[in-house]
Amino acid sequence: MKEETPILEVKQLHTHFFTKAGVVKAVDGVHFDIKPGETLGIVGESGSGKSITAMSIMRLIPSPPGKIVDGQVLFKGENLLNKSEKQMRKIRGKEISMIFQDPMTSLNPVFTIEKQMVETILVHENLNKQQARNRAVELLELVGIPEARGRLKNYPHEFSGGMRQRVMIAMALACNPEVLIADEPTTALDVTIQAQILELLAKLQKELGMAIIMITHDLGVVSEVCDRVMVMYAGKPVEYTDKKSLFKQPKHPYTLGLMNSIPKISAKKEKLEAIEGLPPDLRALPGGCSFAPRCSQATEICLTTDPVLIEHGNNHHVRCLLYEEETEKVVSE
Amino acid sequence: MVKYILRRLVMLIPVLLGVSILTFSLIHLIPGDPAKSMLGEKSTESQLEQLREELGLNDPYIVQYGRFAGSILQGDLGESVKSKEDISIEIMNRLPATMELTVFAMVLAISIGILAGVIAAVKQYSWFDNLSMTGALFGVSLPIFWLGLMMIWFFSVQLNILPASGRISNNIELNSITNFYLLDSIITGNWAAFKDVLSHLIMPGVALGTIPMAIIARMTRSSMLEVMKQDYIRTANAKGLARHLIVFQHALKNAFLPVLTVIGLQFGLLLGGAVLTETIFSWPGIGRYVYLAVMGRDYPVVQSTILIIAVIFVIVNLITDILYKYFDPRISYD
């Protein structure tokens, strides 16, 4: 692992939504950092707070009802949560960019690719229109779109899904961002196209050196591209470590459950192991550990005591009472 | 594109054929004797016979229709039973007045309606949203004639700041070139006339524009609310674009299609349907012309005017359809 100072540090981030039906604690104590050139995976099921974490970093939480109630987002040492909207606009798309899940709907259908790329470049860079157009062509070539110059005048509906995601990536890279947040960038694509996009991202990262936050629910994606991983459940990080230890020694019962629910080619079992139950209602979280009601290893105490994220082993963080007790034992002995 | 327009123009033929048959039938669908209903109960048999002869009412329907359609194709709309004036000329004289009023009303309706709709959507549930949408509800519910009369009472009678009727004051000289007075006064640089014409336009323009304005505002709001939730708006935000670019370019262009449909329909309706407004404000346009013709049972005039209004309506809709392509490139005309 690279021994550099982190480019982005998220500290104890809490983003809540204040709805009529109650307070939804969508992100509740997320804590991670990422170094230049590194890829961090954020894994979790729908509603675990992955995307809200990303939107919080970008300060794009719809408010009301959403509000970042606590925490820090340090980008190059500066807290983004203290920036004005105007200052944030200069960071979005230039220093921190984002690509989204569905390339079909993420591009504006009524504008040409050229217009959508050039406007981004013009907002952030001191270029004239012609230069911006040339830059757009360069970018499209970079992401592997054939006949890039000719395709500038096309509309999004004239591209295939994979090509559109390439356009999205080109647009996100327009101003050489230092952090790229990829929010499930391959979920909506065919498997073969998924692999192409992941390869492209890895290649671009090598060339351009940006840090990537890869949000996904797919552990396969994590195993392919990530250096470190944060597993989220019900708005909280439950396990946070490097990829190797995660796959070698998953600690949290939820991570274990996720791993077991991946079909294996070698396995002879016909039925997949699934995690029983449903994710909790974020408006009314259970008193103890949020995962306790679904956890096969839960004991009495899990229902009443909420665990904290502790370091258990070298740089391996886990949020589970199973390990808290063990650590205490270690400490007391 | 050219192909599409040509095809649409060809498709106009059956539509106009239908309209012409309907307007032609009008005169025969009136209960009783058309000649009698035009001349009145006290007419003598010789007068009636003379009119029947004049209008060719004694011929078989098919011959009558052939004559009617034939003369329309030559641009001859016949003459008024009452004044004996050539109807084509009369309509051409009045059309600019109606067009000017309609365009003025629609410019008001579109600019204020869209702006209010956009702001209401962006600031959903704010005081502006509540106020403008309540206003819009009033706008669609108000009867035009009541609004017109109230404005005349208030601005003309009480405050005496706006003229109650007509297009231009008697003491103002204006060289007419296009018959669009506002345009004429600009072309000739006649600012006294410009001011006068504008003051005449305000009240009928507001009366006529209120309903479309309200409909456009509500349509814009709901369409914008829908669009602002879309993924590409999130993308635009994530790119660091300024708020006004996102709202007025990225969102509005997407939200505009349903609004454009409403604008096209309302524009067509206003061109033909300014009857009430033109009557209240004594506006010398086709609305008032057709009103006077109906009151005077001048059926040839009614027939011809309805035909012209239908043609305008169809053309406005054709233009609307062509404009769709500009706002949504996904629409294919092939």
| Residue B160's CATH number | 1.10.3720.10
**B153 and B50 part of one domain:** no
Q: What pLDDT shows up at residue B307? A: 87
**B98 and B69 part of one domain:** no
Mutate which: B235, B248, B257, B332, vs A, most A CBs within 10 A: B235
Q: How confident is the model at residue B251 (pLDDT cuts 50, 70, 90)?
A: very high
Across the A:B interface, residue pairs with CB atoms under 8 Å apart total 74
Nearest chain B CA: its distance from A272 CA (Å): 34
Residues in chain A within 8 Å Cβ distance of B230 = 105
Is there a contact between A211 and A178 (Cβ–Cβ < 8 Å)? yes
Per-residue model confidence as pLDDT tens digits over B4-23: 888 888 888 898 889 888 88
Count of domains observed in chain A: 1
Task: Tell me the residue range of the domain where A69 lies.
Answer: 8-95+175-264+274-332
Q: What pLDDT shows up at residue A329? A: 46
3-state secondary structure A13-68: EEEEEEECCEEEEEEEEEEEEECCCCEEEEECCCCCCHHHHHHHHCCCCCCCCEEE
A191 domain residue, yes or no? yes
| Whether pLDDT at B200 is above 90 | yes
**B148 and B290 part of one domain:** yes
Q: What pLDDT shows up at residue B59? A: 82
Q: Going by DSSP bridges, is the β-strand pair A66-75/A39-43 parallel, antiparallel, or unpaired?
A: unpaired
List of chain A residues with pLDDT < 70: 1-3, 267-270, 325-333
A201 domain residue, yes or no? yes
B300 domain residue, yes or no? yes
Buried b (16+ CB within 10 A) or exposed e, B287-301: bbbbbebeeebbbbb
Q: Which residue would you say has higher pLDDT here, B12 or B158? A: B158
| Whether pLDDT at B125 is above 70 | yes
| Whether pLDDT at B118 is above 50 | yes
A67 domain residue, yes or no? yes
Nearest chain A CA: its distance from B234 CA (Å): 8
Cβ separation A60–B242 shorter than 8 A: no
Sheet holding A39-43, edge to edge: A96-99, A179-183, A211-216, A39-43, A228-233, A236-242, A317-318, A310-311
B334 domain residue, yes or no? no
Q: What pLDDT shows up at residue B327? A: 85
Residues in chain A within 8 Å Cβ distance of B325 = none
Q: Which of B108-117, B240-249, B273-282 has the largest mean confidence?
A: B108-117
**B67 and B155 part of one domain:** no
- The phi and psi torsions of A172 (rounded to 5 degrees) equal -70, -30
Nearest chain A CA: its distance from B131 CA (Å): 21
Comparing C-alpha atoms, which of A202, A203, A204, A230 is closest to residue A215?
Answer: A230
Q: What pLDDT shows up at residue A328? A: 52
Q: Which of B132-141, B228-237, B284-293, B319-328 has the lowest mean pLDDT?
A: B319-328
B177 domain residue, yes or no? yes
Count of domains observed in chain B: 2
A125 domain residue, yes or no? no
Q: B230 at the A interface (CB within 8 A)?
A: yes
Q: A307: domain CATH number?
A: 3.40.50.300
B124 domain residue, yes or no? yes
**B9 and B136 part of one domain:** no
Q: Can you tell me the mean pLDDT for B229-247? A: 91
B89 domain residue, yes or no? no
Mutate which: A91, A108, A121, vs B, most B CBs within 10 A: A108
B83 domain residue, yes or no? no
**B148 and B28 part of one domain:** no
Task: Tell me the residue range of the domain where B11 lies.
Answer: 2-73
Q: What pLDDT shows up at residue A318? A: 87
Is there a contact between A119 and B241 (Cβ–Cβ < 8 Å)? yes
**B173 and B37 part of one domain:** no
Is there a contact between A49 and A14 (Cβ–Cβ < 8 Å)? no
Mutate which: A85, A106, A124, A168, vs B, most B CBs within 10 A: A106
Q: A-contacting residues of B 242-261, CB under 8 Å?
A: 242, 245, 250, 253-254
Cβ separation B238–A89 shorter than 8 A: no
Q: What pLDDT shows up at residue B329? A: 85
Q: Can you tell me the mean pLDDT for B233-242? A: 91
* Whole-angstrom distance, CA of residue A197 vs CA of residue A163: 9
Q: Which residue would you say has higher pLDDT here, A307 or B33? A: A307
Output the six-digit token pair for A306.
């909420």
A47 domain residue, yes or no? yes
**B67 and B178 part of one domain:** no
Q: What pLDDT shows up at residue A327? A: 55
Cβ separation A108–B238 shorter than 8 A: no
**B180 and B321 part of one domain:** yes
**B99 and B43 part of one domain:** no
Name the residue of chain B whose CA is nearest to A158's CA: B330
Q: What DSSP character marks residue B175?
A: -
Output the six-digit token pair for A9.
């540090």
| Whether pLDDT at B106 is above 90 | yes
**B98 and B68 part of one domain:** no
Q: What pLDDT shows up at residue B226? A: 93
When the pLDDT of each residue in chain B is averaged and rounded to a whole number, the result is 88
**B158 and B244 part of one domain:** yes
B131 domain residue, yes or no? yes
Checking B196-202 for CB contacts under 8 A at 24+ apart, the result is B196/B168, B196/B169, B196/B172, B197/B167, B197/B168, B199/B162, B199/B163, B200/B163, B200/B166, B200/B167, B200/B168, B200/B169, B201/B100, B201/B101, B201/B104, B201/B167, B202/B162
